[in-house]
Amino acid sequence: MNVELDLAKESFNTKYAPLAILFTHYQQNEILKPLESVNVSMKSKDFSSVDKLKQTLLSIMCGCDTFSAINTSLKDEFSLAKSCGWNRFADQSNLSKNLDSLSPSNLEELEKGTKEIHHSLSQLKQHDWRKSLWLDFDLTGLVGGKSYEGSRSGYFSGKKGRRVGN
């Protein structure tokens, strides 16, 4: 499947276009394949249990912080569903039941699969560990000075050009 970006004249499109591209990339490179090792013993009519796990992941990536948000956020996202290989998204109750049916051994399989996905995407394994690794999570935009290690001139919500310590 080739990803093609173009302007559409359709009256409906998806507001999750970047996720559609990312998820297509994941499918093309079989990044989510480790999820297929999770053997959930649950009846599936329209979606396999693996599809439901993928849809749960995608709902998190779309910003759904609860299962109830899935129906309101993704119910009408047919373009996003189609780009991921589905005609539509599963109902939130089906996704919830899928997670509820996970046995302890399924949870171990899921943990193993997600670790495998994480390690395949992580850039930490490419880091030269003989050098320092800087992690910067300070998003407060507090004023810093020239003497602050690693501080640079930047922009934080109206504080243009002032030194900020990250």
The model's confidence at residue 68, banded by pLDDT at 50, 70 and 90, is confident
Contact 11, 76 (CB under 8 A): no
What are the helix (H) ranges across the chain? 17-28, 49-61, 68-74, 78-83, 92-100, 104-121
**Residues 81-90 pLDDT 10s:** 988 889 999 9
99 CA to centre of own chain? 18
- Residue 157 scores a pLDDT above 70: no
Spatial distance between the Cα atoms of 75 and 154, rounded to a whole number of angstroms: 40
Percentage of residues of the chain with pLDDT beyond 90: 30
**Residues 88-131 pLDDT 10s:** 999 999 999 999 999 999 999 999 999 999 888 887 777 787 88
Q: Residue ranges of the domains in the chain?
A: 17-126, 134-166
Spatial distance between the Cα atoms of 142 and 29, rounded to a whole number of angstroms: 41
pTM exceeding 0.75: no
Spatial distance between the Cα atoms of 58 and 19, rounded to a whole number of angstroms: 8
Q: For residue 138, which of 149, 128, 127, 125 has the smallest C-alpha distance?
A: 149
Mention every residue, 6+ apart, whose C-beta is less than 8 A from residue 26.
32
Beta bridge partners of 123: none
